[in-house]
Amino acid sequence: MIKQIHLTTTSLVAAILAAAMTLIGLSWSALPASAADIPEASVSLHTESVVNSQWDQVDLTCEWSVPDHSQPGDTFSLQLPSELRWFGTASFDLKNDDGETVATAVADDEGRVVFTLTDFVASHPLNVGGTCNFTTQYALDPGNGSVDELVFTVGSGVVRVPLPDAGECTSDCEPTPPTSAGKAMWWADSAQTQLESIFYMPPMASDSNDVVVTDVPAEGMEIDCSAVTPRVGRSVNDDGNLVEPLDNELYPAVIDCSPERLTASWTGLPEGERVELFVVTKVTDPALDVYQNNGTVVISGEETTVGAETKRTSAGGTGNGTATPSPTPSATSTPTPSATPTPSASVTPSATPTPSASVTPSATPTPTATATPTPSATPTATPSASVTPSATPTAEPSPSTTSPGIGIVPSDAPPASGTPEPLATTGAHSAAFIFAAAALLAVGSVLAFLGARRARRH
Protein backbone atom coordinates (compact mmCIF):
# COMPACT_ATOMS: atom_id res chain seq x y z
CA MET A 1 0.00 0.00 0.00
CA ILE A 2 2.86 2.36 0.86
CA LYS A 3 4.57 1.64 -2.46
CA GLN A 4 1.29 2.37 -4.26
CA ILE A 5 1.06 5.76 -2.52
CA HIS A 6 4.66 6.53 -3.44
CA LEU A 7 4.06 5.63 -7.07
CA THR A 8 0.89 7.72 -7.18
CA THR A 9 2.66 10.73 -5.59
CA THR A 10 5.61 10.42 -7.95
CA SER A 11 3.37 10.29 -11.01
CA LEU A 12 1.43 13.33 -9.77
CA VAL A 13 4.66 15.31 -9.25
CA ALA A 14 5.86 14.32 -12.72
CA ALA A 15 2.57 15.49 -14.25
CA ILE A 16 2.77 18.85 -12.42
CA LEU A 17 6.38 19.35 -13.55
CA ALA A 18 5.37 18.50 -17.13
CA ALA A 19 2.64 21.13 -17.10
CA ALA A 20 5.00 23.72 -15.58
CA MET A 21 7.73 23.02 -18.14
CA THR A 22 5.20 23.34 -20.97
CA LEU A 23 3.97 26.72 -19.69
CA ILE A 24 7.53 27.99 -19.27
CA GLY A 25 8.43 26.90 -22.80
CA LEU A 26 5.39 28.56 -24.33
CA SER A 27 5.97 31.77 -22.33
CA TRP A 28 9.62 31.86 -23.33
CA SER A 29 8.74 31.50 -26.99
CA ALA A 30 6.27 34.38 -26.69
CA LEU A 31 8.81 36.84 -25.27
CA PRO A 32 9.76 39.57 -27.80
CA ALA A 33 13.35 40.06 -28.85
CA SER A 34 15.10 42.80 -26.90
CA ALA A 35 15.86 46.02 -28.78
CA ALA A 36 19.47 46.98 -29.48
CA ASP A 37 21.51 49.68 -31.14
CA ILE A 38 22.70 48.91 -34.67
CA PRO A 39 26.31 50.09 -35.01
CA GLU A 40 26.49 48.62 -38.54
CA ALA A 41 23.69 50.89 -39.78
CA SER A 42 24.64 53.06 -42.74
CA VAL A 43 23.51 56.68 -43.08
CA SER A 44 24.83 58.95 -45.83
CA LEU A 45 23.90 62.64 -45.70
CA HIS A 46 23.67 65.21 -48.49
CA THR A 47 22.89 68.91 -48.72
CA GLU A 48 22.67 71.40 -51.54
CA SER A 49 21.93 74.36 -49.27
CA VAL A 50 24.17 77.43 -49.47
CA VAL A 51 25.05 79.09 -46.17
CA ASN A 52 25.60 82.83 -46.47
CA SER A 53 24.57 84.14 -43.05
CA GLN A 54 23.54 83.08 -39.59
CA TRP A 55 20.20 81.28 -39.30
CA ASP A 56 20.20 80.27 -42.95
CA GLN A 57 18.16 77.16 -43.62
CA VAL A 58 20.09 73.96 -44.32
CA ASP A 59 18.04 71.19 -45.92
CA LEU A 60 19.45 67.69 -45.53
CA THR A 61 18.63 64.40 -47.20
CA CYS A 62 19.92 60.95 -46.31
CA GLU A 63 20.07 57.37 -47.47
CA TRP A 64 19.96 54.71 -44.76
CA SER A 65 20.14 50.94 -44.45
CA VAL A 66 20.51 48.33 -41.71
CA PRO A 67 21.88 44.76 -41.73
CA ASP A 68 19.57 41.92 -42.70
CA HIS A 69 17.48 40.42 -39.90
CA SER A 70 17.56 43.53 -37.72
CA GLN A 71 14.75 43.32 -35.18
CA PRO A 72 11.71 45.53 -34.44
CA GLY A 73 12.68 48.09 -31.81
CA ASP A 74 16.34 48.19 -32.86
CA THR A 75 17.69 51.73 -33.23
CA PHE A 76 20.37 53.72 -34.97
CA SER A 77 21.09 57.43 -34.73
CA LEU A 78 22.92 60.44 -36.09
CA GLN A 79 24.16 63.49 -34.23
CA LEU A 80 23.91 66.95 -35.75
CA PRO A 81 26.99 69.12 -35.27
CA SER A 82 26.77 72.09 -32.93
CA GLU A 83 26.77 74.43 -35.92
CA LEU A 84 23.28 73.24 -36.87
CA ARG A 85 20.09 73.77 -34.92
CA TRP A 86 17.22 71.36 -35.54
CA PHE A 87 13.88 72.88 -36.28
CA GLY A 88 10.69 71.68 -37.83
CA THR A 89 8.68 68.73 -36.66
CA ALA A 90 10.65 66.73 -34.11
CA SER A 91 9.27 63.31 -35.11
CA PHE A 92 8.43 61.75 -38.46
CA ASP A 93 7.81 58.37 -40.08
CA LEU A 94 9.66 56.54 -42.83
CA LYS A 95 7.05 54.75 -44.95
CA ASN A 96 6.91 52.49 -47.99
CA ASP A 97 4.72 53.04 -51.06
CA ASP A 98 1.80 51.26 -49.37
CA GLY A 99 1.86 53.63 -46.39
CA GLU A 100 3.37 51.08 -44.00
CA THR A 101 5.78 52.59 -41.45
CA VAL A 102 9.19 50.92 -41.67
CA ALA A 103 10.90 53.15 -39.08
CA THR A 104 10.21 56.22 -36.95
CA ALA A 105 12.58 59.12 -36.26
CA VAL A 106 12.68 61.46 -33.25
CA ALA A 107 14.99 64.48 -32.82
CA ASP A 108 15.84 65.96 -29.44
CA ASP A 109 16.90 69.49 -28.46
CA GLU A 110 20.58 68.50 -28.67
CA GLY A 111 20.35 67.62 -32.36
CA ARG A 112 20.42 63.83 -31.94
CA VAL A 113 18.06 61.97 -34.28
CA VAL A 114 17.12 58.41 -33.26
CA PHE A 115 15.62 56.01 -35.81
CA THR A 116 13.62 53.02 -34.50
CA LEU A 117 12.61 50.02 -36.64
CA THR A 118 8.97 48.92 -36.52
CA ASP A 119 7.28 45.51 -36.71
CA PHE A 120 7.48 45.81 -40.50
CA VAL A 121 11.01 44.39 -40.46
CA ALA A 122 9.82 41.20 -38.74
CA SER A 123 8.06 40.12 -41.94
CA HIS A 124 10.49 41.92 -44.29
CA PRO A 125 13.93 41.29 -42.74
CA LEU A 126 16.03 41.62 -45.91
CA ASN A 127 17.32 44.73 -47.72
CA VAL A 128 15.82 47.13 -45.15
CA GLY A 129 16.59 50.76 -45.97
CA GLY A 130 15.29 54.00 -47.43
CA THR A 131 15.69 57.77 -47.39
CA CYS A 132 15.05 60.69 -45.05
CA ASN A 133 14.82 64.48 -45.30
CA PHE A 134 14.75 67.22 -42.66
CA THR A 135 15.70 70.85 -42.14
CA THR A 136 18.12 72.63 -39.84
CA GLN A 137 19.40 76.16 -39.30
CA TYR A 138 23.00 77.25 -39.41
CA ALA A 139 23.50 78.68 -35.94
CA LEU A 140 26.84 80.48 -36.41
CA ASP A 141 27.99 83.51 -38.36
CA PRO A 142 29.89 81.92 -41.27
CA GLY A 143 31.65 85.20 -42.07
CA ASN A 144 34.63 84.40 -39.84
CA GLY A 145 35.65 81.43 -41.97
CA SER A 146 36.33 79.25 -38.90
CA VAL A 147 34.17 76.35 -40.12
CA ASP A 148 34.45 74.84 -43.59
CA GLU A 149 32.61 71.55 -43.06
CA LEU A 150 30.01 69.96 -40.80
CA VAL A 151 30.88 66.69 -39.05
CA PHE A 152 28.05 64.23 -38.36
CA THR A 153 28.54 61.34 -35.96
CA VAL A 154 26.63 58.28 -37.16
CA GLY A 155 27.07 55.16 -35.04
CA SER A 156 30.80 54.50 -34.86
CA GLY A 157 31.63 56.55 -37.95
CA VAL A 158 31.42 60.16 -39.10
CA VAL A 159 29.93 61.84 -42.15
CA ARG A 160 31.43 65.10 -43.39
CA VAL A 161 29.33 67.65 -45.24
CA PRO A 162 31.36 70.53 -46.71
CA LEU A 163 30.15 74.11 -46.42
CA PRO A 164 30.58 76.74 -49.13
CA ASP A 165 33.64 78.90 -48.67
CA ALA A 166 32.43 81.93 -46.74
CA GLY A 167 35.79 83.65 -46.89
CA GLU A 168 38.53 83.72 -44.30
CA CYS A 169 39.10 86.64 -42.00
CA THR A 170 42.71 87.82 -42.33
CA SER A 171 42.67 91.11 -40.41
CA ASP A 172 40.39 93.16 -38.16
CA CYS A 173 38.37 90.06 -37.34
CA GLU A 174 35.91 91.73 -34.97
CA PRO A 175 32.23 91.34 -35.98
CA THR A 176 31.42 93.72 -38.81
CA PRO A 177 28.39 95.93 -38.07
CA PRO A 178 25.71 96.15 -40.77
CA THR A 179 25.97 99.03 -43.18
CA SER A 180 22.23 99.30 -43.78
CA ALA A 181 18.97 98.41 -42.07
CA GLY A 182 17.59 94.93 -42.54
CA LYS A 183 15.37 92.20 -41.17
CA ALA A 184 15.76 88.43 -40.63
CA MET A 185 13.20 85.84 -39.52
CA TRP A 186 13.34 82.20 -38.37
CA TRP A 187 11.21 79.60 -36.65
CA ALA A 188 11.15 80.07 -32.87
CA ASP A 189 9.99 76.51 -32.06
CA SER A 190 10.35 73.07 -33.57
CA ALA A 191 6.57 72.71 -33.95
CA GLN A 192 6.65 75.74 -36.28
CA THR A 193 3.89 77.62 -34.50
CA GLN A 194 5.91 80.82 -33.87
CA LEU A 195 8.37 82.92 -35.84
CA GLU A 196 10.96 85.28 -34.43
CA SER A 197 12.41 88.19 -36.38
CA ILE A 198 15.04 90.86 -35.80
CA PHE A 199 15.25 94.38 -37.15
CA TYR A 200 18.89 95.48 -37.26
CA MET A 201 20.54 98.73 -38.39
CA PRO A 202 23.98 100.32 -38.61
CA PRO A 203 25.44 102.50 -35.83
CA MET A 204 23.94 105.98 -35.64
CA ALA A 205 25.87 108.41 -37.84
CA SER A 206 24.67 111.79 -36.47
CA ASP A 207 24.95 113.43 -33.08
CA SER A 208 21.21 112.96 -32.47
CA ASN A 209 19.02 110.46 -34.29
CA ASP A 210 15.35 109.55 -34.21
CA VAL A 211 14.45 105.98 -35.19
CA VAL A 212 11.03 104.52 -36.06
CA VAL A 213 10.50 100.81 -36.85
CA THR A 214 7.21 99.49 -38.27
CA ASP A 215 6.39 95.79 -38.54
CA VAL A 216 3.41 94.50 -40.56
CA PRO A 217 3.05 90.68 -40.77
CA ALA A 218 1.40 89.11 -43.79
CA GLU A 219 -1.68 86.89 -43.70
CA GLY A 220 -1.41 83.75 -41.60
CA MET A 221 0.54 85.51 -38.83
CA GLU A 222 -0.10 87.89 -35.97
CA ILE A 223 2.23 89.76 -33.62
CA ASP A 224 2.65 88.58 -30.03
CA CYS A 225 2.75 91.96 -28.29
CA SER A 226 4.02 90.36 -25.06
CA ALA A 227 7.20 89.24 -26.85
CA VAL A 228 8.56 92.48 -28.29
CA THR A 229 12.16 93.17 -27.16
CA PRO A 230 13.95 96.47 -28.01
CA ARG A 231 17.71 96.83 -27.42
CA VAL A 232 20.06 99.81 -27.54
CA GLY A 233 23.80 99.57 -26.98
CA ARG A 234 27.35 99.52 -28.36
CA SER A 235 28.82 96.14 -27.28
CA VAL A 236 28.32 93.10 -29.52
CA ASN A 237 29.14 89.39 -29.32
CA ASP A 238 30.91 87.22 -31.87
CA ASP A 239 27.69 86.97 -33.85
CA GLY A 240 27.38 90.73 -34.07
CA ASN A 241 24.36 91.00 -31.75
CA LEU A 242 24.09 93.53 -28.94
CA VAL A 243 25.05 92.31 -25.45
CA GLU A 244 25.44 93.79 -21.97
CA PRO A 245 25.96 96.53 -21.01
CA LEU A 246 22.86 97.84 -22.77
CA ASP A 247 21.60 101.42 -22.86
CA ASN A 248 17.88 100.57 -22.83
CA GLU A 249 17.18 102.75 -19.79
CA LEU A 250 19.05 105.72 -21.25
CA TYR A 251 17.14 105.54 -24.50
CA PRO A 252 13.81 103.78 -23.86
CA ALA A 253 11.62 102.68 -26.74
CA VAL A 254 8.01 103.72 -27.18
CA ILE A 255 5.95 100.67 -28.26
CA ASP A 256 2.57 100.76 -29.97
CA CYS A 257 1.46 97.18 -30.69
CA SER A 258 -1.52 95.24 -32.02
CA PRO A 259 -1.64 91.76 -33.58
CA GLU A 260 -1.72 93.34 -37.05
CA ARG A 261 0.86 96.14 -36.64
CA LEU A 262 3.80 97.16 -34.44
CA THR A 263 5.53 100.54 -34.13
CA ALA A 264 8.66 101.13 -31.99
CA SER A 265 10.38 104.52 -31.82
CA TRP A 266 13.47 106.09 -30.18
CA THR A 267 14.52 109.73 -29.96
CA GLY A 268 17.88 111.43 -29.49
CA LEU A 269 20.15 108.43 -30.07
CA PRO A 270 23.77 109.62 -30.11
CA GLU A 271 26.39 108.73 -32.68
CA GLY A 272 27.67 105.15 -32.41
CA GLU A 273 24.60 103.74 -30.70
CA ARG A 274 22.98 100.73 -32.34
CA VAL A 275 19.36 99.55 -32.23
CA GLU A 276 17.87 96.03 -32.47
CA LEU A 277 14.22 95.04 -32.25
CA PHE A 278 13.14 91.40 -31.70
CA VAL A 279 9.53 90.49 -32.56
CA VAL A 280 7.67 87.17 -32.13
CA THR A 281 4.74 86.40 -34.42
CA LYS A 282 2.29 83.54 -34.02
CA VAL A 283 1.13 81.38 -36.91
CA THR A 284 -2.63 81.61 -37.42
CA ASP A 285 -2.76 79.59 -40.65
CA PRO A 286 -0.58 76.47 -40.45
CA ALA A 287 -1.53 75.47 -43.99
CA LEU A 288 0.76 78.05 -45.60
CA ASP A 289 4.10 77.01 -47.06
CA VAL A 290 5.69 80.47 -46.86
CA TYR A 291 5.38 83.21 -44.24
CA GLN A 292 6.34 86.85 -44.90
CA ASN A 293 6.92 89.73 -42.54
CA ASN A 294 7.51 93.20 -43.98
CA GLY A 295 8.20 96.58 -42.44
CA THR A 296 10.12 99.84 -42.60
CA VAL A 297 13.03 101.41 -40.73
CA VAL A 298 13.31 105.22 -40.61
CA ILE A 299 16.61 106.73 -39.32
CA SER A 300 16.75 110.49 -39.14
CA GLY A 301 14.05 110.79 -41.78
CA GLU A 302 15.59 108.26 -44.21
CA GLU A 303 13.24 105.29 -44.80
CA THR A 304 14.34 101.78 -45.72
CA THR A 305 11.90 99.01 -46.63
CA VAL A 306 12.81 95.68 -45.06
CA GLY A 307 11.29 92.22 -45.17
CA ALA A 308 11.88 88.56 -44.47
CA GLU A 309 10.47 85.27 -45.68
CA THR A 310 10.53 81.89 -43.99
CA LYS A 311 9.39 78.60 -45.47
CA ARG A 312 7.60 75.93 -43.54
CA THR A 313 9.80 72.89 -43.32
CA SER A 314 8.87 69.24 -43.22
CA ALA A 315 10.64 66.08 -42.22
CA GLY A 316 9.95 62.63 -43.58
CA GLY A 317 11.40 59.78 -45.51
CA THR A 318 10.90 56.39 -47.09
CA GLY A 319 11.65 52.82 -46.12
CA ASN A 320 11.22 49.33 -47.45
CA GLY A 321 12.34 45.74 -47.02
CA THR A 322 12.12 42.32 -48.64
CA ALA A 323 10.24 39.35 -47.22
CA THR A 324 12.07 36.08 -46.69
CA PRO A 325 11.48 33.89 -49.77
CA SER A 326 9.38 30.75 -49.24
CA PRO A 327 11.49 27.56 -49.11
CA THR A 328 11.50 25.62 -52.38
CA PRO A 329 11.45 21.80 -52.06
CA SER A 330 14.83 20.35 -52.98
CA ALA A 331 15.07 17.98 -55.93
CA THR A 332 16.56 15.35 -53.60
CA SER A 333 13.73 15.53 -51.06
CA THR A 334 11.99 12.54 -52.71
CA PRO A 335 14.15 9.40 -52.77
CA THR A 336 14.70 8.15 -56.30
CA PRO A 337 16.28 4.68 -56.61
CA SER A 338 19.27 4.59 -58.92
CA ALA A 339 18.07 1.28 -60.36
CA THR A 340 14.53 1.28 -61.67
CA PRO A 341 12.81 -2.13 -61.59
CA THR A 342 12.04 -1.95 -65.29
CA PRO A 343 13.40 -4.52 -67.74
CA SER A 344 16.11 -3.24 -70.04
CA ALA A 345 14.27 -4.81 -72.94
CA SER A 346 10.52 -4.53 -73.03
CA VAL A 347 8.72 -7.68 -73.98
CA THR A 348 5.94 -6.94 -76.41
CA PRO A 349 3.75 -9.95 -77.26
CA SER A 350 2.76 -10.23 -80.86
CA ALA A 351 -0.69 -11.40 -79.82
CA THR A 352 -2.50 -10.93 -76.54
CA PRO A 353 -2.73 -14.33 -74.78
CA THR A 354 -6.15 -15.38 -73.57
CA PRO A 355 -6.67 -17.90 -70.77
CA SER A 356 -9.49 -19.73 -72.60
CA ALA A 357 -7.24 -20.96 -75.38
CA SER A 358 -3.84 -22.60 -75.27
CA VAL A 359 -1.11 -20.35 -76.47
CA THR A 360 0.82 -21.81 -79.34
CA PRO A 361 4.44 -20.92 -80.02
CA SER A 362 3.29 -18.52 -82.75
CA ALA A 363 1.50 -16.41 -80.08
CA THR A 364 4.37 -16.57 -77.64
CA PRO A 365 5.91 -13.23 -76.53
CA THR A 366 9.25 -13.06 -78.26
CA PRO A 367 11.96 -11.37 -76.20
CA THR A 368 15.04 -9.76 -77.66
CA ALA A 369 17.02 -12.79 -76.63
CA THR A 370 14.89 -15.60 -78.08
CA ALA A 371 13.75 -18.24 -75.61
CA THR A 372 11.76 -21.17 -77.03
CA PRO A 373 8.99 -22.36 -74.65
CA THR A 374 8.21 -26.04 -74.29
CA PRO A 375 4.87 -27.15 -75.88
CA SER A 376 3.58 -28.59 -72.62
CA ALA A 377 3.67 -25.22 -70.75
CA THR A 378 1.42 -22.23 -71.23
CA PRO A 379 3.53 -19.05 -71.17
CA THR A 380 2.44 -16.16 -69.00
CA ALA A 381 3.72 -12.57 -69.09
CA THR A 382 5.42 -11.95 -65.76
CA PRO A 383 4.15 -8.76 -64.09
CA SER A 384 7.69 -7.68 -63.10
CA ALA A 385 8.65 -7.63 -66.78
CA SER A 386 6.37 -4.55 -67.34
CA VAL A 387 4.15 -6.56 -69.75
CA THR A 388 0.51 -5.77 -69.08
CA PRO A 389 -1.73 -8.21 -70.97
CA SER A 390 -5.45 -7.57 -71.14
CA ALA A 391 -6.10 -10.98 -69.55
CA THR A 392 -3.35 -12.59 -67.52
CA PRO A 393 -2.99 -16.42 -67.89
CA THR A 394 -2.92 -18.35 -64.67
CA ALA A 395 -0.24 -20.85 -65.70
CA GLU A 396 3.30 -20.27 -64.42
CA PRO A 397 5.96 -19.89 -67.09
CA SER A 398 8.65 -22.45 -67.67
CA PRO A 399 12.06 -21.68 -66.21
CA SER A 400 13.38 -21.50 -69.77
CA THR A 401 11.25 -18.35 -70.47
CA THR A 402 12.98 -16.24 -67.82
CA SER A 403 16.33 -15.92 -69.47
CA PRO A 404 18.69 -13.44 -67.76
CA GLY A 405 19.17 -11.79 -71.14
CA ILE A 406 15.80 -9.97 -70.76
CA GLY A 407 17.18 -8.00 -67.77
CA ILE A 408 14.20 -8.43 -65.39
CA VAL A 409 14.92 -7.26 -61.85
CA PRO A 410 13.40 -9.54 -59.16
CA SER A 411 10.76 -7.93 -56.96
CA ASP A 412 12.77 -8.77 -53.83
CA ALA A 413 15.93 -6.98 -55.05
CA PRO A 414 17.71 -4.84 -52.44
CA PRO A 415 16.76 -1.13 -52.42
CA ALA A 416 18.81 1.27 -54.50
CA SER A 417 21.68 3.18 -52.96
CA GLY A 418 21.25 6.85 -52.02
CA THR A 419 19.19 7.46 -48.90
CA PRO A 420 17.37 10.81 -48.79
CA GLU A 421 19.01 13.25 -46.38
CA PRO A 422 16.98 13.98 -43.27
CA LEU A 423 15.43 17.45 -42.95
CA ALA A 424 17.44 19.90 -40.86
CA THR A 425 16.03 20.74 -37.46
CA THR A 426 16.43 23.90 -35.43
CA GLY A 427 16.40 24.17 -31.66
CA ALA A 428 14.81 26.79 -29.40
CA HIS A 429 14.33 27.20 -25.68
CA SER A 430 10.59 26.70 -25.99
CA ALA A 431 10.98 23.45 -27.95
CA ALA A 432 13.42 22.10 -25.36
CA PHE A 433 10.98 22.84 -22.58
CA ILE A 434 8.11 21.20 -24.44
CA PHE A 435 10.15 18.05 -25.14
CA ALA A 436 11.19 17.90 -21.49
CA ALA A 437 7.57 18.31 -20.46
CA ALA A 438 6.52 15.50 -22.78
CA ALA A 439 9.20 13.24 -21.28
CA LEU A 440 8.07 14.02 -17.74
CA LEU A 441 4.46 13.46 -18.73
CA ALA A 442 5.40 10.05 -20.16
CA VAL A 443 7.27 9.12 -16.98
CA GLY A 444 4.29 10.19 -14.87
CA SER A 445 1.93 8.11 -17.00
CA VAL A 446 4.13 4.99 -16.64
CA LEU A 447 4.38 5.46 -12.90
CA ALA A 448 0.62 5.94 -12.62
CA PHE A 449 0.06 2.74 -14.64
CA LEU A 450 2.39 0.77 -12.43
CA GLY A 451 0.66 2.13 -9.32
CA ALA A 452 -2.76 1.15 -10.62
CA ARG A 453 -1.53 -2.30 -11.58
CA ARG A 454 -0.01 -2.86 -8.14
CA ALA A 455 -3.26 -1.72 -6.53
CA ARG A 456 -5.22 -4.35 -8.46
CA ARG A 457 -2.85 -7.04 -7.24
CA HIS A 458 -3.48 -6.03 -3.62
Domain at 93, CATH number: 2.60.40.1280
CA 207 – CA 277 distance, rounded (Å): 21
Kindly state whether residue 444 falls inside one of the protein's structural domains. Answer: yes
Same domain assignment for residues 52 and 24? no
Kindly state whether residue 101 falls inside one of the protein's structural domains. Answer: yes
Kindly state whether residue 361 falls inside one of the protein's structural domains. Answer: no
CB 297 within 8 A of CB 303: yes
**Ramachandran category for residue 301: left, alpha or beta (phi over 0 → left; psi -120 to 50 → alpha):** left
Kindly state whether residue 297 falls inside one of the protein's structural domains. Answer: yes
The reply to whether the predicted model has a pTM over 0.75 is no
Where a domain ends, among 247, 278, 311? 311
One digit per residue, pLDDT tens: the chain, 458 residues?
A: 544 555 566 556 555 665 665 555 555 444 445 568 998 898 888 878 777 777 778 888 999 999 999 999 999 998 888 888 887 788 999 999 999 999 999 998 888 999 999 999 999 999 999 999 998 888 876 655 556 776 766 555 566 666 665 455 555 556 677 889 999 998 888 778 999 999 999 999 999 999 999 999 999 999 999 999 999 999 988 777 899 999 999 999 999 999 999 999 999 999 999 999 999 999 999 999 999 999 999 999 999 999 999 888 888 999 999 998 877 665 555 555 554 445 444 444 444 444 444 444 444 444 444 444 444 444 444 444 343 444 444 444 444 433 333 333 333 444 444 444 433 333 444 455 455 655 666 666 666 666 666 666 65
Kindly state whether residue 55 falls inside one of the protein's structural domains. Answer: yes
Per the DSSP assignment, residues forming a β-bridge with 92 are 105
15 Cα distance to chain centroid: 45
Same domain assignment for residues 157 and 71? yes
Residues spanned by the domain of 7: 1-31+434-458
Where a domain ends, among 167, 198, 231? 167
CA 437 – CA 27 distance, rounded (Å): 14
CA quadruple 447, 452, 457, 458: dihedral sign? positive
Same domain assignment for residues 283 and 249? yes
CA 32 – CA 50 distance, rounded (Å): 46
Same domain assignment for residues 290 and 204? yes
Helix H or strand E segment including 12: helix 2-30
Same domain assignment for residues 159 and 226? no
Same domain assignment for residues 163 and 48? yes
Q: Which residues contact 399 (CB under 8 A, 6 or more apart)?
A: none
CATH number of residue 240's parent domain: 2.60.40.2430
Q: How many domains does the chain divide into? A: 3
Same domain assignment for residues 163 and 202? no
Same domain assignment for residues 52 and 90? yes
Same domain assignment for residues 209 and 157? no
